[in-house]
Amino acid sequence: MSSSAESRERILSRLYNAQQYGRDAYVPQKKVWTIRNRPKEKNITEFMERMGAVRTEVYRTKGTEWVAELQKLVEERGQKTLLHAPSTPTGKVLAEKWKKKSPCKLVTWKDSIEEFKDDLFACDGAVTGCIGGIAESAAVILWPTEEEPRLMSIVPPLHVVVVEADKIYTSFQDAIKKLKWNTSMPTNALLISGPSKTADIELILQFGVHGPTDLVVFITE
Amino acid sequence: MASNEKFNFAQSVAEALADSQLRANFRFATDTLIQRRGTVFASPEETNFLRDVGSSMKKDVLANLPDLLERFEAKCIKNGIVVHWAETAKDANEIILSILNEKSAKKVVKGKSMASEEIHLNAYLEEHDKEVVETDFGEFIIQLCNEPPSHIIVPAVHKNRKQIAEVLAEHVEGMEYTEDVDIMLENVRNTLREHFKTADAGISGVNFGIVETGSLCLVENEGNGRMCTTVPPLHIALMGIEKLIENVEDIPAIYRLLCGSATGQRITTYFNMISGPRKKDERDGPKEVHLVLLDNGRSRIMNDPQLGDVLKCIRCGTCLNHCPVFTRIGGHAYGSTYPGPIGEILVPQLEGLNPKGAIATASSLCDACSEACPVRIPIPEIIRRMRDESYGHGDPNSVAGYGYKKNCVESMVWRGWKWSQTSPFMNKVMLKGLALFGKWIPVVGPLKSWMSVRSKPTFGKNSLKDLVKKEGVRHE
Ligand code: SF4
């Protein structure tokens, strides 16, 4: 659009000519917020405590135990379907260990969103892996993939995340460094710290306004 | 309340003050938000350090803004984002409309965006036969009753539960009056899910644009922003040109400052970084992402050493909560997209001093806002600058409407005052004069309105100065 190009020229030239912040203007030294890394156990404890505080259910499990626990949990709550991605490590374990007789059926994402939309909006829950967690700010880090698309963690009312204990970082800063976030940014990167919520009515916290009402996190080792 | 209908600030303030329900709602909200902020920023040392980090980071961005914008643009384009530049609100509206038209999009779901309020995007799109659905819960409520937001973080905060229940009962199909918040949410959730599913496009704001990676960051609790930017096949993001952050590693500090200041959270539910449209083989996400970079006066503001500081703002809204005036009159009285202290320094610059300069009078200059501001904007100083500009003391080229309040009588009074304070002889004459004739000062003009709620001062025979001279100062 030519008018956009003209606007661009005018805006940039005004900015380049601005007196205040010209390149020679004094700008104070940038300060940096650092947090010292802590040992793994401390990270896990803090992660569990802080995630729990915003109504996330966090469980610590060994190996593939989480599948049985999850199964119990969803059956108690009367879930009918659970979306998963059998080609990912998490999804694979889930599919292998899931009891076939369970009233809660595992389903998979087919095709692209255009075709799958109705089914997706009808799903009761979804299970995804994640690439790590953060203790200091209490969040899981998701970089959605072709196997585990972005909407798995927002549309179904229940979201289950499996996080490896070794990948719980002390701080967001550390996660950015370790994951080389600045050079390997995916199409979509997410921090998720709890179930969806709003405080728009009298500032009272209410859960599950658009996204999941429940967030369940399994820490595995 | 369209921004430019005849704006009478004094009258809106009077109306707001007369509404006791409104005052109660705001008082409760601002007190709660201040208290919640305190739980995250409990240690003054840490908080002040973090504010230094935020302030220096934004200063740095502004110092290099044009270079960073060019780098950011190049990165975005590389990521497959289509970048548009809008010099004015009108340009931005037209660009967005033409993108929608090109894709024959009719129905748009929208995430919360102050920039879109600033350009009155909804009204514009609706005029051109688009269906626009606000999806943030608070925005949804006020869209139903056709009101602008009254707070930049909690847009429907002027309404209490009962009032919201009434709005929902009246406008949402099949809904009856209920004060049960769960039922209200359930209904709104279902209504909006249908809209997400069927929308042709999603429009969002941007909290931070990361230069290094060409990413758009969205901060939210509800998840509607993620829906708007992921479900529909087209995503249009609208971003003020000052919203850049240079590196990914800068994000943790500025993000904590934003969450803590805005809602008293350590972190929001979702932090959503978008770096391009759906790639080959990916199965969801928009097929096209457009970014509209909005100037609308910002590049002009940059030209002034003092006023440029306004552009550090990250729209956290905490200055609103801390402002004793905002707490009492609420957001609508300001008649502007941005109310409260940030509004007082930004709106007159965007829309001109006449008539919006008037809102800069709504401050006691108590400094509460600048003490809380996460990026350390010296708000009261800039408020005083707005007032100076209104009276023609400042830089005639920086703010539109310069000197609109200038009047001879006032100028003369101040000149007289200055004289009486700089010349010892005139000072004596004034003091003597007031002691003798002060009680006959006619009660007219400003004095009259001042005295409508106060009693007239009486002048002592001896001035304080004389007393000090005679008696000295007792240090007790
Ligand atoms: S001026 Fe400061 S306190 Fe006010 S909204 Fe902007 S960043 Fe927040």
Question: CA A172: distance to chain centroid?
Answer: 13
Q: Tell me, yes or no, whether A165 lies in a domain.
A: yes
pLDDT, tens digit, 9 for 90 and up, residues B141-154: 999 999 999 999 99
Q: Give the angle B354-B360-B364 at the CA atoms, nearest 5°.
A: 155
Closest-CA residue to B104 (of B205, B229, B203, B201)? B201
Under 8 Å between Cβ of B169 and B141: no
Confidence band for A21, pLDDT divided at 50, 70 and 90 = low
Return the residue matching tokens 């993001």. B237
Pick the residue whose CA is nearest to atom 7 on ligand 1.
Answer: B313
The mean per-residue pLDDT over the stretch B84-92 comes to 97
Question: DSSP secondary structure string, A141-210?
Answer: EE---SSS-GGGGTSSSEEEEEEEGGGEES-HHHHHHHTTTTTS--SEEEEE-SS-EE-TTTT--EE-SS
Q: How far apart are CA B476 and CA B474, in angstroms?
A: 6
Tell whether ligand 1 has an atom less than 6 A from the beta carbon of residue B383: no
Q: Which residues pair with A206 in a beta bridge?
A: A198
Domain B41-299: give its CATH superfamily: NagB/RpiA/CoA transferase-like (3.40.50.10420)
Checking if the pLDDT of B407 tops 90, the result is: no
Q: Tell me, yes or no, whether A19 lies in a domain.
A: no
Q: A211: left (phi > 0), else alpha (psi -120 to 50), else beta?
A: beta
Measured between CA atoms, the residue of chain B closest to residue A212 is B223
Confidence band for A24, pLDDT divided at 50, 70 and 90 = low
pTM of the predicted model over 0.90: yes
Give the distance from residue A8's alpha carbon to the nearest chain B alpha carbon, in angstroms: 5
CATH number at residue A204: 3.40.50.10420
Confidence band for B3, pLDDT divided at 50, 70 and 90 = very low
Q: Tell me, yes or no, whether A186 lies in a domain.
A: yes
User: Other CB atoms closer than 10 Å to residue B65's CB: what's the count?
Assistant: 25
Under 8 Å between Cβ of A144 and A136: no
Question: CA A183: distance to chain centroid?
Answer: 19
Give the residue numbers spanning the domain of A159. 35-220
Structure ipTM: 0.95
Give the distance from residue B27's alpha carbon to the nearest chain A alpha carbon, in angstroms: 11
pLDDT, tens digit, 9 for 90 and up, residues B435-475: 888 888 888 888 888 888 888 888 888 888 888 888 888 77
Query: Amino acid identity, residue B20?
Result: S
pLDDT of amino acid B250:
97
pLDDT of amino acid B452:
86
pLDDT of amino acid A80:
94
Question: CA B199: distance to chain centroid?
Answer: 29
By Cβ distance, the residue of A15, A32, A113 closest to B284 is A113
Closest-CA residue to B208 (of B165, B254, B169)? B254
Q: Tell me, yes or no, whether A45 lies in a domain.
A: yes
By Cβ distance, the residue of A15, A121, A212 closest to B197 is A121
Domain regions of chain B by residue span: 1-18+317-406, 41-299, 423-471
* HSE-up of residue A34 (Cα within 13 Å, Cβ side): 6
Burial class (CB in 10 A: 0-12, 13-18, 19+), B186: middle
In 3-state terms chain A splits into helix, strand, coil percentages (rounded to 5) of 35, 25, 45
Sign of CA dihedral B259, B260, B263, B268: positive
What does the CA dihedral B135, B137, B141, B143 come to, rounded to 10 degrees?
Answer: -30
Mutate to test the interface with B, among A9, A33, A205, A213 (most CBs of B within 10 A): A33
Checking if the pLDDT of B1 tops 50, the result is: no
The mean per-residue pLDDT over the stretch B105-128 comes to 97
Which of 172-191 (B) contact A at CB < 8 A?
181-182, 184-185, 188-189
Q: How far apart are CA A112 and CA B7, in angstroms?
A: 51
Confidence band for B201, pLDDT divided at 50, 70 and 90 = very high
Tell whether ligand 1 has an atom less than 6 A from the beta carbon of residue B318: yes
Q: How far apart are CA B104 and CA A208, in angstroms?
A: 32
What is the whole-number distance in angstroms between the Cα of residue B47 and the centre of ligand 1?
15
The chain-wide mean pLDDT, for chain A, equals: 93
Strand B288-294 relative to strand B234-240: parallel, antiparallel, unpaired? parallel
Q: How far apart are CA B267 and CA A107, in angstroms?
A: 32
Under 8 Å between Cβ of B237 and B228: no
- Please count the structural domains in chain A: 1
Checking if the pLDDT of B125 tops 60, the result is: yes
